[in-house]
Amino acid sequence: MANHATVRLGSYTIPLIGIDPAATREQCDRCHDRFHFQSVQLNPAGNQWLCEKCMKQGPMENLLDGLSQHAKFLTKAELKTELSARGIDVDSFLKTSHAIIAKHKKQKRKSDKPGSL
Ligand SMILES: [Zn+2]
């Protein structure tokens, strides 16, 4: 590990003698690890600085990441409106989920009953 900072220029690594390596470290907005500033890049959405590894994450991870960040700022009612706009009926979705869980619990109770075969 070099004890001075470096910059990459094409295929060359230029030493910056007398400059602390910490000076060229940038934090990744997703994994919060620190990397050389030249390997941390602005994501396509332009709202996060990401390391190479986080940048390679699939679109689904990016979407989920964006959603969970977004959801922090939404009230329950706003979230419901957002989902409805995307064609998701929250109420019926919840009702269906509850029905499935209730049915499962009922079946479990039946099978747990002693003496029943
Ligand atoms: Zn990262």
DSSP letter string over the chain?
Answer: --SSEEEEETTEEEEETTS-GGGGEEE-TTT--EEEGGG-EE-TTSS-EE-HHHHTS-HHHHHHHHHHHHHTT--HHHHHHHHHHTT--HHHHHHHHHHHHHHHHHHHHHHHSTT--
Please check whether residue 14 is in contact with residue 8, taking contact to mean a CB–CB distance below 8 angstroms. yes
Q: How confident is residue 13, by pLDDT bands cut at 50, 70 and 90?
A: confident
Q: What is the rounded distance in angstroms from the CA atom of residue 1 to the CA atom of residue 17?
A: 14
In this predicted structure, the answer to whether residue 60 has a pLDDT above a threshold of 70 is no
Cα 31 to ligand 1 centroid, rounded to whole Å: 4
pLDDT number for residue 115: 65
Cα 108 to ligand 1 centroid, rounded to whole Å: 43
Cα 18 to ligand 1 centroid, rounded to whole Å: 28
pLDDT number for residue 27: 93
Selected residue with higher pLDDT from 39 and 90: 39
pTM above 0.85? no
pLDDT number for residue 70: 64
Cα 53 to ligand 1 centroid, rounded to whole Å: 6
In this predicted structure, the answer to whether residue 1 has a pLDDT above a threshold of 60 is no
Cα 69 to ligand 1 centroid, rounded to whole Å: 16
Cα 94 to ligand 1 centroid, rounded to whole Å: 35
